[in-house]
A and B are shown apart, each in its own frame.
Chain A
Amino acid sequence: MTALLSLKRVSKRFRGLLAVDGVSFAVSAGDLFAIIGPNGAGKTTLFNMIAGAIVPDQGSINFAGKPIGGLPADAVCRRGIARTFQIVRPFPALTVEDNVIIGALLHIRDVGKARTRAGEILRSLDLFEQRNRIAATLTLPDRKRLEVARALATEPRLLLLDEVMAGLRPTESDRMVAILRSLNRDNGLTIVLIEHVMRAVMALASNVLVLDHGIAIAQGKPEAIVRDSAVVQSYLGAEPV
């Protein structure tokens, strides 16, 4: 079975710091894949390389059978990979609806049809009532969902989510979990997420990759990962009891 996304020995160095060190993994179509690890483990750097925001120093990134490593971010998005940012970046002075219309216009040339599509996406993310509000005035949970909405509007085959649960209260994060699960199960969308909220990871992920100091230290099913001694050590800094 061929993977939708596969990375082979991908590395990135920032001056003296080897942020990502020879990381390899594969994500199958329909997977809900989580990347976890302590702060500074290189998760966001890895994401930025997949999404085209930064160019890897070494290694190859393949998406749907074609190399995408080093492509600019807009080209990666047009190939079918959409992303959200760890620190949310909606278009602040525009309305919620216009934010999503911009995403939808990538593949829909007609503004009217893009607005219709944006309306559907906003409904599915419980943002339709807020569509005429200016994005900058939304609460953080709403802005996080707006980022997901804008990313979805570009009709991705793979969605990269960088800490969409961070800063959310448990009830809000449960709502996000339900939305993501529905997107994955009902729409067949492949999702890769970076996440610190282990509750969400355990509830969602079918596969987990653990990064520490730029190295992939473990990979597998979530239940197995939480018992892995290397993982426990990297999080708690002690030998397992």
Chain B
Amino acid sequence: MAAKTSASFVDPFIRIAVSLFEDVSRQTIALLGILLASLLIVPWLVNDYLLTVLIVVLYFAFTGQAWNIMMGFAGQLSLGHAIYVGLGAYIAAVLFARFGIAPWIGFLAVIPVAAACGATIGFLAFRFRVAGVYFAILTIAFAEFARIGFDHLDYVNASAGLFLPVAQYARNDLWHLRGNPTMFYYVILAAAAFAFVVCRALLKSRIGYFWLAIREDEQAARAAGIDTFRYKMAAVMISAVITSFAGVFYAFFYNNLFPEQVFNISRSIEIILGPIIGGIGTLFGPILGAFVLTGLAELLNAAMAAIGFDLPGAKQVFYGICLLLVVVALPEGVWPWLARRIGVSESRQ
């Protein structure tokens, strides 16, 4: 009897796990396996500097995946995702610094705040038909509002910044997210893998189909009976909650928070560059885009150091030119092009 109960409890999870891979081609599974295996062994192969670079790559793969839910799936352009990063970072950091609450518990407090923030922006926009670029401006306005607000909020040290106590730890403390880069690397790798799996499950489900319908043609979606308000709200809230975990990670990895930095619009732009370069609306796009962007920046650094060219701002100019070339040459993103070249399809058939 007990065995039967536990079997029926586990059963739906097994079915979900199986369904995640049932439609995936062999090439895709092989590709995923190679990618995951190489990412798992990387800490033994590279130095701390390169590991930190990879942490940044995976961080942007994670946030890009979360942003992609809104833009790539549901077609809603957010240019203010820094607000969810900032809220997650500040809430988890304050709870840890003042009350010693572990970040994983802190994240439980972050979830409703991020969801409510997303719901507020979504409600204002979707209820009052603020769409397209005007919606994007609304998301920027909220992020700026948060930046200025936190800049004057004495409880979190306002513009002076919030610092997490840093000490030499004898061992990695996963529960309190205190430890060396290797630990942070595995945390963000797990998060990025989790975001990938969640996005794939969402895309394959009823809600994913409805999001695509809204992205493609909102009026036609409504004519097909889809309550577009409800599903757009769901997209904003899910995207907000996932993004806010990146904030928790950010706070504990960098140990310092300044409103001017964490809520800055350039942070929101960084989040969206990966999926745009990699391929909006695809699952591998945000991951590939993060690798391309950070890889490009590191290559430029190395190249300029090698030739001894250190004119201020030159790196940014070259970086911009490279991005421009990628966007012009591959307007759908790098992944759709690469997928065709290596014969991997990401369609849902």
Residues of A within 8 A of B (CB): 51, 53, 72-75, 77-78, 82-83, 85, 89-95, 97-98, 101-103, 105-106, 109, 111, 114, 132, 150-151, 153-154
In the complex, are the beta carbons of A102 and B209 less than 8 A apart? yes
A102 CB contact (under 8 Å) in B204, B213, B349: B213
In the complex, are the beta carbons of B216 and A91 less than 8 A apart? yes
Which 8 residue pairs across A and B have the least CB separation, nearest first?
Answer: A77-B225, A91-B216, A106-B225, A73-B222, A89-B220, A74-B222, A102-B213, A78-B225
In the complex, are the beta carbons of A77 and B212 less than 8 A apart? no
Q: How many residues of B contact A (CB 8 A)?
A: 22
**In the complex, how many angstroms separate the beta carbon of B219 from the nearest chain A beta carbon?**
7
B205 contacts A by Cβ under 8 Å: yes
In the complex, are the beta carbons of A74 and B228 less than 8 A apart? yes
A132 CB contact (under 8 Å) in B205, B206, B213, B349: B349
**16 residue pairs A–B, Cβ–Cβ below 8 Å:** A72-B222, A73-B219, A75-B227, A77-B225, A78-B225, A89-B219, A91-B213, A92-B217, A102-B224, A105-B209, A106-B224, A106-B225, A111-B204, A111-B206, A111-B209, A154-B224
Residues of B within 8 A of A (CB): 204-206, 209-210, 212-213, 216-217, 219-228, 347-349
| Complex interface: chain A residues within 8 A of B210 (CB) | 102, 105
| Complex interface: chain A residues within 8 A of B224 (CB) | 74, 77, 82, 102-103, 106, 150-151, 153-154
In the complex, are the beta carbons of B204 and A91 less than 8 A apart? no
**In the complex, how many angstroms separate the beta carbon of B202 from the nearest chain A beta carbon?**
12
**Complex Cα gap A73–B220 (Å):** 9
| Complex interface: chain B residues within 8 A of A78 (CB) | 225
| Complex interface: chain A residues within 8 A of B216 (CB) | 91-94
| Complex interface: chain A residues within 8 A of B204 (CB) | 111
* CB closest residue in chain B, given A106: B225
Q: A95-B349, A102-B209, A102-B221 are in contact. List 20 more A-B contacts (CB 8 A).
A: A74-B223, A74-B226, A74-B228, A77-B223, A77-B224, A82-B224, A85-B220, A85-B223, A89-B220, A91-B213, A91-B221, A92-B216, A95-B347, A97-B349, A102-B212, A105-B206, A106-B224, A106-B226, A109-B206, A154-B225
In the complex, are the beta carbons of A89 and B217 less than 8 A apart? yes
**Complex Cα gap A95–B209 (Å):** 12
**Complex Cα gap A73–B349 (Å):** 30
In the complex, are the beta carbons of A73 and B212 less than 8 A apart? no
**In the complex, how many angstroms separate the beta carbon of A134 from the nearest chain B beta carbon?**
10
| Complex interface: chain B residues within 8 A of A75 (CB) | 227
* CB closest residue in chain A, given B347: A95
| Complex interface: chain B residues within 8 A of A154 (CB) | 224-225
**In the complex, how many angstroms separate the beta carbon of A164 from the nearest chain B beta carbon?**
14
* CB closest residue in chain B, given A83: B223
**Complex Cα gap A78–B223 (Å):** 9
| Complex interface: chain A residues within 8 A of B347 (CB) | 95, 132
**Complex Cα gap A9–B59 (Å):** 61
In the complex, are the beta carbons of B209 and A101 less than 8 A apart? yes
| Complex interface: chain B residues within 8 A of A111 (CB) | 204-206, 209
In the complex, are the beta carbons of A53 and B205 less than 8 A apart? no
**In the complex, how many angstroms separate the beta carbon of A129 from the nearest chain B beta carbon?**
14
